[in-house]
Chain A
Amino acid sequence: QLQLQESGPGLVKPSETLSLTCTVSGYSIASGYYWGWIRQPPGKGLEWIGSVYHSESPYFNPSLKSRVTISMDTSKNQFSLRLTSVTAADTAVYYCARAEYSSSLDAFYMDVWGKGTTVTVFS
Chain B
Amino acid sequence: SYVLTQPPSVSLAPGETARITCGGNNIGLKTVHWYQQKPGQAPVLVIYYDSDRPSGIPERFSGSNSGNPATLTISRVEAGDEADYYCQVWDKNADHLVFGGGTRLTVL
Give A contacts to B, CB under 8 Å.
38, 45-48, 51, 59, 61-62, 95, 100-101, 103, 105-111, 113-116
Contact = CB atoms under 8 A, between A and B. Distances in A.
Contact of A51 (B33, B37, B88, B97): B97
B92 A59 contact: no
Contact of A95 (B33, B43, B54, B86): B43
B101 A106 contact: no
Interface residues of B, number: 28
A105 B96 CA distance: 15
17 contacts: A38-B43, A46-B35, A46-B86, A62-B1, A100-B48, A103-B92, A106-B30, A107-B31, A109-B33, A109-B48, A109-B90, A110-B35, A111-B45, A111-B48, A111-B54, A113-B44, A115-B41
A107 B102 contact: no
B108 interface: no
B88 A109 contact: yes
Contacts of A106: 30-31, 90, 92
A109 B42 contact: no
Given A106-B92, A111-B54, A59 B42 contact: no
Contacts of A113: 42-44
Interface in B59-90: 84, 86, 88, 90
Nearest first, the 5 A-B pairs at minimum CB distance are A108-B90, A109-B33, A48-B97, A107-B31, A113-B42
Contacts of B101: 45
A45 B42 contact: no
Contact of A107 (B33, B42, B45): B33
B40 to A, nearest CB: 9
Contacts of B49: 105, 107
B33 A59 contact: no
A49 to B, nearest CB: 9
Nearest to B47: A109
